[in-house]
Amino acid sequence: MVQGHEKRRHPRTETSAVAVLVATARGGYLSSAQDISGGGARIARPLAWKETSQPPFRLFFIFDQDTVVDLRATLVRAGEDHLAFQFDAGQTDEVDQLLYETRFIVQAV
């Protein structure tokens, strides 16, 4: 992706090294992040994902056993191979922590 053509409000950081637990009102799914931004995240669609999965959604980004970032999110798109979430408002500190931790994963890859 050419950065000069990025028109999104929040630039995306591609990653595949971050595990994500998507917690729903009635269960959860383990997946991995495909990209992360200050506004949301795109994750790989879990194999067992059900279209009937109901909000509220919480995303637990798992960097290691001591570093887990928890964000409330809204599902904005369900593609064939991914789910796109927008982070709910009022979580500035958590989003900042997520972006901070993501920097180390991207550098390590």
Total tally of structural domains belonging to the chain = 1
DSSP state of 108: H
* Side chain identity at residue 46, one-letter code: P
Return the CATH number at 86.
2.40.10.220
What's the pTM? 0.84
Is residue 66 in a domain?
Answer: yes
Is residue 69 in a domain?
Answer: yes
* Cα–Cα distance measured from residue 7 to residue 57, given in angstroms and rounded to the nearest whole number: 27
Which whole-number Å values give the CA distances from 7 to 2, 34, 42, 49, 84, in the listed order?
11, 18, 17, 30, 17
Is residue 18 in a domain?
Answer: yes
Is residue 4 in a domain?
Answer: no
Are 80 and 55 in contact by the 8 Å Cβ rule? The answer is: no
Q: Between 108 and 28, whose confidence is greater? A: 28
**pLDDT (mean) for 65-90:** 96
Per residue in 99-109, pLDDT (tens digit) is 999 887 755 44
Structural domain harbouring 59: 10-108
Three-state SS for 100? helix
Per residue in 82-99, pLDDT (tens digit) is 999 999 999 999 999 999
Is residue 46 in a domain?
Answer: yes
Are 61 and 43 in contact by the 8 Å Cβ rule? The answer is: no
